[in-house]
């Protein structure tokens, strides 16, 4: 096999991927994974030769990505909030938008609860567990519960909690159904929100390899927001915070669902770093009324 230096293999793969409508950056991720180098060492050693085994593994990984296999599935993990999480075909691959959801949630909870301990936090539709695990590790005194309808997803979430040493209670069931009378101060969810009508316009990297149950939802992607907004008044404490990740263009509609459920509280739509409405928060004020009980 012809010997190649790392930069030569990287240049070949980047061009090859772009020629097949894939992101060139995937070449760097795959080569770093195969060589086991962090980003700093990777660029320091670009003129080093790859071993035959490394080059063969790299070429195979690039070909598989061209065929549609996500880079994260080839590596077996994704980085999220500075930590590594296992991913597979049973869970949604974490996206940067969800990191923003968590960041803005902490910004609000730090203000709402100041330094109060024993916050009860809930992550509904946990998938790989990134939201629940991140909440627990960033705020160790919080008690975190995470739910999912999929036993396979929960299996992956539990593995991620264990590998990151996060003590979380996991419950299997549909949305808020498995909570059995528990009450929470913080609620966060990134539910399926893509309309089924969008499938035909999406990349096969997503539609062929990520679970449709974690991607798509009825009522133009809004059914789970409606159901949870109806269920949330029964499980939220005051003061409290509700946060949803939403699809671009859904912000005002989801905000209206929360305003209907919590008419006397403060609801806001937040735009992500790309200028898209991606988060909706509802701050529950420290009061009670017949409407909210």
What is the gyration radius of the CA atoms in the chain, in angstroms? 21
- CA distance readout (Å), 17 to 3, 54, 91, 94: 21, 18, 25, 22
Residue 128 annotated as part of some ligand binding site: yes
Dihedrals φ, ψ of 258, to 5°? -70, -35
Structure tokens at 289: 């009324």
Q: Is 125 annotated as a binding residue?
A: yes
- 221 has binding-site annotation: no
Nearest to 269 by CA among 249, 239, 286: 249
Confirm or deny that 126 is annotated as ligand binding: yes
Q: Among 126, 137, 140, which Cα is nearest to 84's?
A: 137
Structure tokens at 156: 């992956």
According to the annotation, is 129 in a ligand binding site? Answer: yes
Is 191 a known ligand-binding residue?
A: yes
Instruction: Give the whole-angstrom CA distance, residue 222 versus residue 244.
Output: 12
**Residue 192, marked binder:** yes
Q: In the chain, which ranges are continuous DSSP H helix? A: 6-19, 25-35, 39-44, 52-67, 71-75, 96-113, 130-138, 151-163, 204-207, 218-221, 223-231, 251-261
Of 110, 69, 35, 77, residue with least CA distance to 206: 69
Residue 268 near residue 255, CB atoms below 8 Å: yes
Binding-site members for substrate are 190-193
- Residues in the annotated binding site for S-adenosyl-L-methionine: 125-129, 148, 190
Annotated binding-site members? 125-129, 148, 190-193
């Amino acid at each position: 096999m012809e010997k190649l230096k790392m930069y030569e293999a990287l240049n070949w793969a980047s061009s090859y991927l772009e020629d097949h409508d894939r992101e060139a950056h995937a070449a760097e991720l795959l080569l770093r994974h195969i060589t086991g180098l962090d980003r700093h060492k990777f660029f320091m050693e670009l003129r080093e030769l790859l071993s035959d085994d490394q080059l063969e593994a790299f070429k195979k990984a690039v070909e598989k990505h061209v065929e549609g296999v996500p880079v994260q599935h080839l590596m077996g993990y994704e980085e999220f909030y500075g930590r590594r999480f296992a991913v597979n075909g049973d869970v949604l691959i974490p996206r940067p938008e969800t990191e923003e959801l968590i960041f803005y949630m902490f910004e609000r909870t730090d203000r709402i609860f100041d330094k109060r301990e024993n916050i009860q936090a809930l992550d509904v539709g946990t998938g790989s567990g990134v939201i629940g695990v991140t909440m627990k590790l960033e705020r160790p005194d919080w008690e975190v519960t995470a739910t999912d309808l999929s036993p396979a997803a929960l299996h992956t979430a539990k593995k991620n909690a264990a590998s990151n040493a996060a003590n979380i209670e996991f419950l299997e069931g549909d949305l808020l159904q498995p909570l059995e009378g528990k009450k929470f101060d913080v609620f966060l969810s990134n539910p399926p929100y893509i309309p089924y009508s969008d499938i035909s316009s999406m990349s096969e990297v997503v539609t062929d390899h990520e679970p449709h149950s974690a991607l798509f939802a009825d009522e133009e992607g809004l059914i789970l927001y409606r159901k949870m907004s109806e269920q949330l008044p029964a499980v939220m404490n005051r003061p409290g915070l509700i946060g949803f990740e939403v699809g671009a263009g859904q912000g005002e509609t989801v905000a209206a669902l929360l305003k209907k459920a919590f008419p006397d509280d403060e609801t806001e739509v937040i735009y992500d770093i790309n200028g898209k409405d991606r988060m909706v928060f509802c701050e529950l004020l420290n009061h009670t009324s017949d409407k909210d009980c």
